[in-house]
Amino acid sequence: MKDKILHLIDRLNKLNEQLSDPDVHSDQKRYRELSREHSDISKIIEVGEPYLKALNNLEGNKAIIKENEDAELVEMAEVEQEELEEKIEEMEEKLKLLLIPKHPDDHKNAIMEIRAGTGGDEAAIFAGDLYRMYSKFCETEGFKTDTMSSSISERGGFKEIIFNIEGDHVYARLKFESGVHRVQRVPETETQGRVHTSAVSVVVLPEAEEVDIEIDPNELRIDVFRSSGPGGQSVNTTDSAVRITHIPTGLVVTCQDEKSQLKNKNKALKVLRTRLLDMAVSKQNSAIAAQRKSMVGSGDRSAKIRTYNFPQGRVTDHRIGLTLYKLDRVMEGEIDELIETLQLAEKTEQLEEVAG
């Protein structure tokens, strides 16, 4: 552990030199990469430097105990040694977690897709409830959201909504939300008070940057058409909606929320680029995913991950067996406990894998 911290301190000094280089400043991509690495290492050093200091103090205490004949001084050193050993043990546990390699996409913005599944109108209404829940969470976190595409349900909610989320380490915070979210409650349309079960699928993808995926314009078919929306919205008056088809894969993305055709095209390309990156990464990792039986990190979006039971006021995450009896607050965006417990579970699994 000591050698790792010393190596990181040396690396941090080199990064400081590189970040002060004018040539690096002129290359924005390189500058962002180095700044991100500098930030990550700095967080480790915040614990690592006190850890090294405690190790040195411990060595000094051992020398006092071994070589000194002053009984009182030796007794004081022995008491301090016990305290230092406990402190060092605590810091080592923190450092083990901090030294776990981060997912390369953790720092990225994210695109979230929410779709109504089984349950008809009630599923669409719950899709709207989840969108509201995530919007409130993002607002609390200081994340910026921007709707890319949406299909509104006649009874309320959404058949589908896709939105972009920008901020610090958005993907790291929200990546475990991918999967099937099940709701159990009495729908507004139910006259006999029976509890219905509906489902909504959520997909969270790291936003692809232009450098991640190159799209050949010759492989795209772009169609424009008149936007459709409830209530005779002004978007209906011009051919502003855009549908982009990626011919090699057959992927189709439609955006019509903006009045500007150019804005809709740019949003559609952002979603397309992100989905193409996801396809490439999924294909690359399929063999690894088949071997790894991680409860948290499997990324199986067809799996039921969470149940929201309204009659009992509880929410249960099935991957980690966590049940919270504060559904009302969760639906208001207070999902920190769920997210942080999932993150801790992933780190615990990773530690076990390293140890094994």
Structure-block tokens of residue 310 = 């309204």
**Which residues of the chain fall below pLDDT 70?**
189, 191, 210-212, 228-238, 283-302, 353-356
Does one domain contain both 228 and 136?
A: yes
Instruction: Name 326's Cβ contacts closer than 8 Å, sequence gap at least 6.
Output: 313, 315, 334
291 lies in a domain?
Answer: no
Taking every pair of Cα atoms in the chain, the longest distance, rounded to a whole number of angstroms, is 94
C-beta separation of 131 from 158 below 8 A: yes
**How many structural domains comprise the chain?**
2
Does one domain contain both 164 and 127?
A: yes
Structure-block tokens of residue 205 = 């993808």
Angle at 112 between CA 106 and CA 117, to 5 degrees: 135
Cα separation, 54 vs 80, in Å, equals: 11
Does one domain contain both 26 and 153?
A: no
Q: Which of residues 53, 68, 98 is at a domain's end?
A: 98
Does one domain contain both 130 and 163?
A: yes
Cα separation, 81 vs 85, in Å, equals: 6
Instruction: Name 90's Cβ contacts closer than 8 Å, sequence gap at least 6.
Output: none
184 lies in a domain?
Answer: yes
Domain of 77? 2-98
Q: Which of residues 75, 98, 121 is at a domain's end?
A: 98
Does one domain contain both 17 and 117?
A: no
Output the pLDDT for position 292: 42
Does one domain contain both 279 and 236?
A: yes
223 lies in a domain?
Answer: yes
Does one domain contain both 209 and 315?
A: yes
Does one domain contain both 94 and 218?
A: no
221 lies in a domain?
Answer: yes
CATH of residue 32's domain is 1.20.58
Q: Which of residues 98, 132, 153 is at a domain's end?
A: 98
Does one domain contain both 142 and 183?
A: yes
C-beta separation of 57 from 64 below 8 A: no
183 lies in a domain?
Answer: yes
Q: Which residues, listed in sequence order, are joined to residue 200 by a DSSP beta bridge?
A: 116, 181
Output the pLDDT for position 188: 75
Output the pLDDT for position 290: 46
CATH of residue 338's domain is 3.30.70.1660
167 lies in a domain?
Answer: yes
Does one domain contain both 129 and 80?
A: no
181 lies in a domain?
Answer: yes
Does one domain contain both 184 and 272?
A: yes
Does one domain contain both 168 and 217?
A: yes
354 lies in a domain?
Answer: no
